[in-house]
Amino acid sequence: MPAGKAPFSLAEYDRRLAKTRAAMAKAGLDAIFVTDPSNQAWLTGYDGWSFYVHQGVIVPMEGEPVWWGRYMDAMGGLRTCWMAEENIVGYADNYVQSTIRHPMQDLAGHLKRLGLETARIGVEMENYYYSAKAHAVLTEELPSATLIDATALVNWQRLVKSEEEIGFIRKAARITEKVIHTAIERAEPGLRKNELVADIYHAGIVGVDDDWGDYPAIVPLTPSGLDATAAHLTWNGDAMRAGEATFFELSGCYRRYHAPLCRTIYLGTPPQDMLDAEKAQLEGIAAGLEAARAGNRTSDVANAFLAVLEKHGIKREGRMGYPIGLSYPPDWGERTASIRTEDETILEPGMTFHFMPALWMESWGLETTETILITEDGPAETLCDVDRKLFVKN
């Protein structure tokens, strides 16, 4: 292992490369260019807040991957990647946000140097970090190459976690527990929401014992009252009020690995329709966890939950979960399988999901969720130890 501080063993990175190259061969690719920061980190260990400029990883069928990015960020690659120094390369700063040149021109030069001028190269077309301009320039610079959509090729290789990864997710789960308990304990009428979120951030970054906290890929989602009828609102400076529910969608983060969890608190006496919904939701979650077994499908989990809701007269649409693990902003999901009725992904031991059967009604929201691990035998293991209930403060 070179001098970099990659978080996993060299054997782990070899395993990841082997899986990725098998998928590349199946897709008929000679190389891939990976821009998703999560995929970059998974393959190389690279970890830096530099994904606002063009950067990525070249994975040929043989040899080490090549991390490529802005020159000043290549210094970060030397500090975080496992590869040899010659496989961490940077482009000049005059490429950054230039109107007369583009970083993909520099990338094309490296691809040619690697003998890939006429290759079949996979690129992540449906990715936050690979722009239409980048694709157009790369196509123009490599007229003899064939650029093929390889969106999520690496993501799917990440679906089953190694024991090393599961260890990191368990550490994240301990931090999540601390963050959720902080939110529940601090919440009270009159407390300004931004002050509560400051406490949440503090708890998450301090971490637990020697396991320091990293920044989560999604900011704290903490809407109250009517705002909680929407799934993805953040916070403001308003004071919390009696007679309102607030849900907390939060995650601890350890070395970029997440374990999301949602809990809801009601300040005062909850209305009966919320209590009735809580009963149905908790019964449905138990049914979903029972169905979340190796050999079943993700749709089996969704259908088990929805069958309970239907019995209670509650209608719900949309997906109920997604895989989680290593991630960067703006999302901690892996963007592959989904827990929903039409998804036929077979569950395997080592898969980790945020099972997210939240309810958003006309006047309130009720989020109660779990990060789960698919095990060798039996129902899924919940990785966070927080009471599964609607929390009430009178």
User: Tens digits of per-residue pLDDT, 82-119?
Assistant: 999 999 999 999 999 999 999 999 999 999 999 999 99
Q: Provide the angle, in degrees to the nearest 10, between the axes of the packed helices 37-44 and 10-26.
A: 120
In the listed set 96, 126, 157, which residue is the last one of a domain according to the structure?
Answer: 157
Asked if the model's pLDDT at residue 2 lies above 60, the reply is no
Q: Indicate if 246 and 373 belong to the same structural domain.
A: yes
- The answer to whether residue 3 sits within a structural domain is no
In the listed set 97, 125, 157, which residue is the last one of a domain according to the structure?
Answer: 157
Asked if the model's pLDDT at residue 209 lies above 60, the reply is yes
Q: Among 3-7, 104-108, 154-158, 262-266, where is mean pLDDT lowest? A: 3-7
Question: What is the Cα–Cα distance from 68 to 5, expressed in whole angstroms?
Answer: 18
Question: What is the Cα–Cα distance from 209 to 171, expressed in whole angstroms?
Answer: 10
- Residue 143 belongs to domain spanning: 10-157
**Contact by Cβ (8 Å): 193, 203:** no
Q: Indicate if 33 and 130 belong to the same structural domain.
A: yes
List C-alpha distances in Å: 354 to 38, 230, 283, 341: 17, 19, 17, 16
In the listed set 129, 157, 185, which residue is the last one of a domain according to the structure?
Answer: 157
Average pLDDT, the chain: 97
pLDDT above 70 covers a percentage of the chain that reads: 99
Q: Indicate if 251 and 383 belong to the same structural domain.
A: yes
Which pLDDT belongs to residue 1? Answer: 43
- The answer to whether residue 385 sits within a structural domain is yes
* Mean pLDDT within 206-217: 98
Q: Kindly report, residue by residue over 236-275, the tens digit of the pLDDT.
A: 999 999 999 999 999 999 999 999 999 999 999 999 999 9
The pTM of this model reads: 0.96
- The answer to whether residue 2 sits within a structural domain is no
Q: Indicate if 129 and 192 belong to the same structural domain.
A: no
Torsions phi, psi for 109 (to 5 deg): -60, -40
Q: For the chain, how many structural domains are there in total? A: 2
* Mean pLDDT within 196-225: 98
Asked if the model's pLDDT at residue 282 lies above 70, the reply is yes
